[in-house]
Structure 1
Amino acid sequence: MKLAYVALGANLGDPIATVRAAIEALAALPGHRLKAVSSLYRTAPVGLLGQPDFINAVVALETPLLPESLLAELFAIEARFGRQRGIRNAPRTLDLDLLFHGDSHSDDPRLTLPHPRMHERAFVLAPLAEIAPAFILPGHGPITGLLDACADQGIERLPATALAA
């Protein structure tokens, strides 16, 4: 079993309900175990302007799968929630990003590990720091310091009731 971290985000439909349901879908993957779930966060979109705010979270998941196989499972979950890939940073029903998978490293165009832009994004760093505050991102340092560098990005932690159904 390897410990993987997965970022979740949605900004179409009912994004709070979608992220909650996606967490349940991750927990239901055969042979997997959900180890930690962050709070939900409301964040401003990155990239295309004029779209709704996102709801984001991060989970820690024990997985028996290799990174590529876990990524395929994440894409399958996205598809069940109506995710359509096309324009980068466009609004989406669900986005699942594999941030880390044990100590795996990959420079494959389909899967880069650790995730290549997470150190610049409060919507990943804040929920990750909540569930793994001592985490050190290889090549970038402690996660809390990285979050400080993103202090200008709009992010709001939602009340715990937002995660409960």
Structure 2
Amino acid sequence: MNRWGSKKRIIWIAVIIILIAFATIGYVIRFRQLNQQYSIGTCEIVQAGESVIVDEIQYTVLSGELITAEEYAKRLNTDMSLLGLAAGDMVPIVQVQLYNGASEEKSIMNMFDGSFLCDLWSNGVDFELMEDMTGVLEAKETKIITVSAIMTKSDYQAKKNDSWRLRIMGWPARVEMSIPMSVGENVK
């Protein structure tokens, strides 16, 4: 009986070790697959004022600004609640210049899935864009678009710094623009 109990214990330990090994191997395979699919090498960081060309359309960040929800609603001459804003919310605003250098009309990169990021990429906070940046640029046409997002007061206080990026394209060909944000006069 004693001998059977020790064999049973050894079998259970072996089964547990095998299950842990399978789980570890599965996790490693999943991790490697994700890294191949979403390679960090596909991320291009562009500084404000510099340009990046994607499909013959040149994207240039002109300016970045961080203002209060109240100030944003006042600029648009509308009520904050209609914009989905609450007192204390912050709104990062970035102006991006688009230029179609091609000899034919081109579709603007779909920026609907874009987001603002703050701090390091690995621990940044995404803030979804409020505008859908789709459309067409005629040949040799230049257009300036304004991109904004809603950031809650607690998110702003947790991520209060000047390291902002605007992600203008989703995986796998991601482009991020580094933006020095000037802070509005009412921001504390």
Is the pair's TM-score, using the shorter chain for normalization, greater than 0.5? Answer: no
* TM-score normalised per structure 2: 0.27
Q: Based on CA coordinates, which of the two structures has the bigger radius of gyration?
A: 2
**Higher RCO (CA 8 Å, separation ≥ 6 residues):** 1
